[in-house]
Amino acid sequence: MELKSLKLKKDLYWVGSLDPDLRVFDIIMYTPYGTTYNSYVLKAGKKTILFETVKAKHFDSYLARLEDLNVDLQNIDYIVVSHTEPDHAGSVERILKLSPKAKIIASQNAVNYLKEIVNSEFEYIVANDNDEIKIENKTLKFYSVPLLHWPDTIYTYIKEDNVLVTCDSFGSHYSCEGVVNTKIDNEEHYMEALRYYYDCIMGPFKPYVLKAIEKIKNLKVDIICPGHGPVLVDNPRKIVDIYEKWSRDEIIVTNKDITICYVSAYGYTAELAENIKKGIEAHSDYNVKMYDVINHNIDEIINSITYSQGVLFGTPTINGDALKPIWDILVSLNPIVHGNKVASCFGSFGWSGEGIPNVMDRLKQLRMKTIDPLVVNFKPSEVDLYEAQLLGKKFIEKTIDVNTKKEGTKKWKCVICNEVFDGEEAPDVCPVCGAKHDQFIEVIEETINYQNDTDDNFVIVGNGAAGFYAADSIRKRNKTAKIVLLSNEEELTYYRPALSDFINEEIKKEDFYIEDKDWYEKNNIEVLLGVNVEKIEEEGKNIILDNNSIINYDKLILANGSSNFVPPINGHNLDGVYTLRNKNDLEKIKVNLEKAKNILVIGGGLLGLEAAYEMKLAQKEVTVVEAMPNLLTKQLDKDGSVVLENILKENGLNLMLDKFIDSLEGDKKVSKAIFKDGSSIDVDMVVFSIGVRPNVKIANNTNIEVNKGIVVDKYMQTSSKEIYACGDVAEIDSIIWAIWPAAIDMGKVAGANACGDKIEFKAESYPVGLDVFETKVFSIGNINDIDSFITLNKKDVYKKLFFKDDVLVGAICINDLSKNVNIIRLIEEKANLNKVLSENLL
């Protein structure tokens, strides 16, 4: 009798399909033991969650298994798509038609790919690395594991059940009638299938396998649910450990080898090969491995290429093409493993010569770093042989250049897979995921040439982004100085912009803090938490704390930030009225959110909308009131604001624009908000988010110049000798930046100059973003003082480019951020209108 569903644990069931007679999988893999297409159902209270689907041809039997489990297709609530390859997601389109209420949970890449597979609208939730989603009595935690074996892959950990859903990882093409690994009838065949599966699917991505294993190493795992093969219900860590061993033992580290492989009909191409070898050996200490392909095993040659830094292919041209033995090697290589190697080719021809350009085309397809080939007509002359030696010289020079990391080399991050590569220019194609040149952004590796080790006392007030990076900047330049970092909070430095992200989630240390306690100890930075500065004594270079202790300084850096502005209206100090500026604020909101039903967010800026979104996710009735006629007036123009406002309204957020708060009422606890036009609404929680004010009180009774903020020059120097200021408290050129990336840059500059270095703060066009209700907003640069613009405005997508004096100075993108990397680059390049138009940004 055919197995229907299978209970794996309470609330968790296997509902996949067995295919024991399959002998070839996806054209390229042999499957002597068949395979399985695993799918799982998780019951979370009254909610039903489906993990993966099956290959389309097994859809009918798949439905039968779901029906056997009494799953009502009309009421599937969520479908977790770990990876969008058709053997896992082939039935998603049909399931969505049968399950109209279901929401897809997947990575952003998977959502993008699925849109092209399903070709219709669907609801979805993007699962980022370390995100958690609470669904009634189950908590799903997601781990981003790109390139295992597509860029879209995620793992899902079901916390209450200690179950890890891993898609292709730890799987095999092995059809086991009993489904679980305790029912395997031939262990030898299973291990053979496991190894073959690993070699074919995971082998090219060994570094990514190790990264994934590192992420899950501390999880308690009772069951691993792979996409293919037996479910690992018994000792699942055994298979994880095997994967780790295979990945560590066989990770590819290239040697100082060059592989030359060739075929030669009459000896002419072989003669060229020998002279290329001479050229390489005359100008390097590299080992040259020569292979006449006819006389060597192809696996030996491919292995040599894999572990070499460069490869040259030699072939004559016969019948208008390169010879088959060379093509056999070339089609066995892939860009994941062999991309980025230096490569070229050479050969002799009679009357046509197409073989060499054909091979060069294949080398470029493999994303190798090619140099021009050598082509000789018939028998090589002495001049030709000299040219062959020159090719060897040029080839080894290129190889050494590619494989030698230069000081100050630029770094480029691929925005698709987040891998970082060295080079003076971004790669033409990402060797990992195939993203094109324009999907890279430059990541500047800081080069510090200044060093001055002293016994100075550096005191930094404030441990936000500016204070943290000021301390880091000092320590990188001064290994012996004393550094004291003060904060009025009881926390080490954390990612303040992420506060709203934790309204509905548990605060996870690894995601919340920039560095753990060990970092401060390693860098010999003394941290004093929960203290306030009462007074600065400039003459004696002392600061007085609220506990009456005195700290002497040689250099003082003020990085004490800003505070949320709360207007002094009636009722502003009632219970239930909050700001969201620090971890303490966050914890108060989290405690009281569960009891609240009607929430008012005062302020329609970035932080206000982020908080409103998180509270709406908690199923609260949320109203945003904004005094301006539109939302995000600093980041969006009027038309862009309208697009965003319509999206927010469609998602159930109540908006009150051009409206002013007058007072709050309640008996100890807030219960009503009154507006200046006399209208009112009932509320049981209020969050103020209407801007910040620099904490300039610290400069009272000093010679430090204060305007709206503490006034500094481009070196972050205040008007008082030996005192610097940075971050939200600082004002430079009449501007208070009050954004996280600017605070980082200011902190680095302040720390460097306090040490004696000379670095200027150079304001950038800092991009800002918003991601709410699956709507992404990107804004950068100047969108107000402009001469002209070009725009694209269609349903839910809005893009606008702003120009001043024919130069791109700003941009807005809503729901299409595909060109944001190009936009950032063009603004930095001060590109003119014609250049911008040529790049098709809209």
The pairing of strands 457-461 and 482-487 is: parallel
C-alpha neighbours within 13 Å on the C-beta side of residue 324: 1
206-216 vs 236-249: helix crossing angle, rounded to 10: 140
Q: What fold does the segment set 6-249 form as a domain?
A: Metallo-beta-lactamase; Chain A (3.60.15)
Q: CATH for 774-838, among 1.10.240.10, 3.30.70.270, 3.30.390.30, 3.90.1150.10?
A: 3.30.390.30
Distance CA 76, CA 94 (A): 13
Percent helix, strand, coil in the chain, to 5, is 30, 30, 40
Nearest to 40 by CA among 63, 59, 13: 13
The whole-angstrom separation of Cα 691 and Cα 565 is 6
pLDDT at residue 632 in the model: 95
Domains 6-249 and 457-564+694-755 share a fold: no
pLDDT for residue 261: 98
Q: For residue 434, what pLDDT is reported?
A: 55
Question: Are the C-beta atoms of residues 61 and 199 closer than 8 Å to each other?
Answer: no
Phi, psi of 90 (to 5 degrees): -65, -25
Q: Quick count: other Cβ atoms within 10 Å of Cβ 60?
A: 8
Identify the burial level of 707 via C-beta atoms within 10 angstroms of its C-beta, where 0-12 means exposed, 13-18 middle and 19 or more buried.
exposed
pLDDT computed for residue 340 by the predictor: 86
- Give the homologous superfamily in CATH for domain 577-690: FAD/NAD(P)-binding domain (3.50.50.60)
What is the domain partition of the chain in residue ranges?
Answer: 6-249, 257-403, 411-443, 457-564+694-755, 577-690, 774-838
- The pLDDT assigned to 119 comes to 85
Q: How many CB atoms lie within 10 A of CB 154?
A: 26
Confidence at residue 414, expressed as pLDDT on a 0 to 100 scale? 65
Fold of the domain built from segment(s) 257-403: Rossmann fold (3.40.50)
Task: Please report, for residues 51, 107, 126, 157, the alpha-carbon distance to residue 131 in angstroms, rounded to integers and kept in the order given.
Answer: 17, 11, 9, 11
Q: Which of 179, 182, 212, 184 is nearest to 83 (CA)?
A: 212
**Among 93, 73, 76, which Cα is nearest to 84's?**
93
- Burial of residue 245 (CB within 10 Å: 0-12, 13-18, 19+) is exposed
CATH for the 457-564+694-755 domain, from 3.50.50.60, 3.40.50.720, 3.90.550.10, 1.10.1060.10: 3.50.50.60
Task: Kindly give the parts of the chain with pLDDT less than 50.
Answer: 1, 406-407, 418, 432
The pTM (predicted TM-score) of the whole model is 0.60
* Crossing angle of the two packed helices 268-282 and 382-403, in degrees rounded to 10: 50
Q: Which two tokens stand for residue 428?
A: 């033409």
